[in-house]
Structure 1
C-alpha cells in the first residue's frame, strides 16, 4: 500500500472524513488496497490518524416495524471539478430493527423537505413504522416557555400517516445512536470533494453509498441490513390513500443558481440573470415548458429540449460583462462562445 500513501494522506486530511470513507473512495478509484481490516492496520501503523477514546452507552433494540429514526447530515460543503461550490444536506431515515437506511440529498431542510423525504422513505421501504424518533429539529418541535412541543403540522402529518412521534431526550444523544451511526456513512461523500461534475453525480454518489450501507454487514447485528429488512418490511403499515399522500407533496423543484448563472434540472442546465447567483429558484413545469421563479416572481421561461446547457444571450452577456469591459469585444466573444456551445452540445 506504500504506492498509495500520498493519496491516502491526501484523503485523510479532509476535515470530518473517516478511515472507512477513505477506503471506500480508494476502492471506487479501482486501487488494489486489499481488505478493510488490512487497510485499517496499515493506516494505524503509519500513524496517520489519532486514536479516539471509545465512549460507552446503552444499546436500544426494537422489534420489527416498531421504530425508525430520522436525522439530517447538515451543511456539507463540496466543490465540483470545475470549482463550483455545493452546500447540501442529506436526509437519513433508518429502520430500528434491520438498520435499513434511506438517504436523500436536499438543498434545504424545511418542513416541506421533511414531509417529502419521509414520504419517499415510506415508499422506498414499502410502509410506515409504528413510531419515528426525531431530535429537536425546528421543523418538528416548537420550543416554548413550557418546554418542547410538537408543532401542529407535524402532528397532523403523523396522524394522517399513522405513526407516533417520539423525541430524543435532551442531552441524551445516544437514544438516536442508530441514525447517527448511519451519518458516519454519509460522511463518505467528503472523499469526493472536487471529484464530481454536478448535482446529478452527487445524487448518484449518495445512492451508491446508500446501497453499500444496506448490503454490507452491520457491526451491531452481524448481518447486512438488507437481509433483516426482508423480515421487517412485513411489519410496516401501508401508506394512506393517494389523496392524503398528494396533499403533502409540493411538485415545485428547487435549484440553487451556480457561479456560471445556471440552474440544474433533470440532467440539463438553464440560465437565469446573474443577479440571482447563489439564490434558490423554484422550477415548475407545464406541458413542454419550464418556468423559473424567484419567490413568487416569474424570472424566465424555457421550452424543454435535450440541450445540456441552455443560455439566454442576455444572461450570458451580463455575466461576461463583469470580465470584459469593451462592448464590441464582449458582443463578439459572447456570440462566438454561444455558437460553440450550441455546436458542441
Structure 2
C-alpha cells in the first residue's frame, strides 16, 4: 500500500480505483483515506523536509535556471535566469539569457568559473533535458549528455544530478532562483537588455554578496574570501570550452544570426532559413545546404553587430522598366500631318 500510494503522490482515490480493478476490492474513498492517513502524513513531511549537510569549501557548485517575464524597452519579454550557488560560502552568480539551451548552461557555468576565479570539485544540477539524457529513479543511474561530459572533463569537475522530481535532494534548498526573482528582479523595468545585465551584476556585488546569510550568519563574500577562494581549482590558462561548438540558428529579418549576444550577418536571401553555425577559436562560419555562406571573426562583449556589406547587396533592387519611345520614322513635323489631313488645325 505504501509503495502504491507513493507512486501516485498520495492520491487515495487512485489507490481505491486500482484496488477495485486489480483485486475486486470495493471500498469507499473515506475508508481508503483513513487507512492511508499516516502514510500521507509521512509523504507531506517528506516533501517539506530538507536533509541538509555542509559541503567543504570548494567542493560543490549548484546550478539552476528559472524564467520570468520582464519589461524591457516597453515590451514584456521572457527572460531565463541562470543561478549558480557555491555550496559552502553561498556566494551567487547570476546571468540573464533569452533561452535555456545547452549553450546557455555552458555559458553560465563558464561565467561563474570566471567570476569565482576557479572551478569546484563537483557541479550539482537538476535533470535538465539539455544536460541529462536519462536518470533512472530506482537505480539512480545517470546518463549524461556527451557534450556535458566533455565540458566537465575540459574544466575538471564531476557532474552530480538530483534524483528525478526531487529537487530537495540537493545538499541545500537555497531557493536561489526565487531569491533572484523576488529581490533582484521584483517589478523592475529596464530600457534595454544590457541594462538588465548591468543591474544583475551590481545587485550580486552590492546586495547578494554582502547580506548576512540566513543559515551561515555571514556575508557570502566574506566567507568565500576567507575559506573558499583558495580551495577552487585555478582557471588561469584554460581556454573556453565554447571556443569550439556547432550551433543551429534561424536567420532573422535583419539578415543576421545571434551567437552569444552578438549579431553576425548572412546573405539576405536566407532570411527565415535555418543555418548551421560553427565556432572554432576566434572564427565563426555559417553554412547552408552544405555550402559556406558567411565567415566572421568573433566579436568580444555583447550586443554588438558584425556585418559584411556583400550580404546586403541587391536588397530592394528592381529591374528598371524602359519608357517606350516612338520610332524615328514617326517623329515628323506637324506640318506634314496637316497636309495629309487637308489643312491645319
Tell me if both proteins adopt one fold, taking TM over 0.5 as the criterion: yes
Q: Distance in 2 between matches of 1:296 and 1:100?
A: 45
Distance of aligned partners of 1:247 and 1:281 in 2 relative to their CA distance in 1, 3 Å threshold: closer
Instruction: Find 2:125's aligned residue among 114, 117, 134.
Output: 134
Q: Deviations over 1:319-345 (max 9, x none)?
A: xxxxxxxxxxxxxxxxxxxxxxxxxxx
Which residue is 2:104 aligned to? Answer: 113
CA contact (8 A) 1:160 1:240 kept: no
> Following superposition, which runs of at least 4 residues in structure 1 exceed 6 angstroms of deviation?
144-147, 251-273, 279-284, 290-302
Instruction: Find 1:191's aligned residue among 184, 187, 194.
Output: 187
Which residue is 2:113 aligned to? Answer: 122
Give the match's secondary structure for 2:187.
Answer: helix
| TM-score scaled by length of structure 1 | 0.56
Instruction: Find 1:159's aligned residue among 130, 153, 156.
Output: 153
Which residue is 2:62 aligned to? Answer: 69
Q: Distance in 2 between matches of 1:139 and 1:246?
A: 19
Matches within 5 A, 1:45-56: 55-56=48-49
Give the match's secondary structure for 2:149.
Answer: helix
Q: How many pairs are equivalent?
A: 259
Instruction: Find 1:78's aligned residue among 42, 49, 70.
Output: 70
Which residue is 1:216 aligned to? Answer: 211
Query: Of the two structures, which has the highest relative contact order with CA contacts closer than 8 Å and spacing of 6 or more?
Result: 1
Aligned-CA RMSD value: 4.7
**Greater Rg, structure 1 or structure 2?**
2
Q: Deviations over 1:7-31 (max 9, x none)?
A: xxxxxxxxxxxxxxxxxxxxxxxxx
Q: Distance in 2 between matches of 1:240 and 1:191?
A: 38
Indicate whether 1:206 and 2:204 are aligned. no
> C-alpha displacement at 1:276, in angstroms?
6.5
Give the match's secondary structure for 1:191.
Answer: coil
CA contact (8 A) 1:92 1:179 kept: no
CA contact (8 A) 2:275 2:286 kept: no
> C-alpha displacement at 1:254, in angstroms?
11
More helix by share: 1
Q: Distance in 2 between matches of 1:265 and 1:152?
A: 22
Q: Distance in 2 between matches of 1:88 and 1:73?
A: 8
Q: Distance in 1 between matches of 2:58 and 2:100?
A: 26
Q: Deviations over 1:149-189 (max 9, x none)?
A: 33353122212222111111233322337475211221031
Distance of aligned partners of 1:106 and 1:253 in 2 relative to their CA distance in 1, 3 Å threshold: farther
CA contact (8 A) 2:102 2:130 kept: yes
CA contact (8 A) 1:291 1:300 kept: yes
Which residue is 1:27 aligned to? Answer: none
Q: Distance in 2 between matches of 1:191 and 1:220?
A: 27
Q: Deviations over 1:267-323 (max 9, x none)?
A: 9999998x969x999899xx9xx9999999999999xxxx99x9x999x99xxxxxx
Matches within 5 A, 1:33-48: none
Give the match's secondary structure for 1:61.
Answer: coil
Instruction: Find 1:87's aligned residue among 56, 78, 101.
Output: 78
> C-alpha displacement at 1:108, in angstroms?
2.0
> C-alpha displacement at 1:106, in angstroms?
1.5
CA contact (8 A) 2:134 2:144 kept: no
Instruction: Find 1:59's aligned residue among 41, 45, 52.
Output: 52
Which residue is 1:97 aligned to? Answer: 88
Indicate whether 1:225 and 2:217 are aligned. no
Q: Distance in 2 between matches of 1:159 and 1:291?
A: 26
Q: Distance in 2 between matches of 1:57 and 1:169?
A: 14
| TM-score scaled by length of structure 2 | 0.56
> C-alpha displacement at 1:197, in angstroms?
3.4
CA contact (8 A) 2:50 2:173 kept: no
Distance of aligned partners of 1:140 and 1:241 in 2 relative to their CA distance in 1, 3 Å threshold: same
Which residue is 2:43 aligned to? Answer: none
Q: Which runs of 5+ in 1 are unaligned?
A: 1-53, 318-345
Distance of aligned partners of 1:71 and 1:222 in 2 relative to their CA distance in 1, 3 Å threshold: same
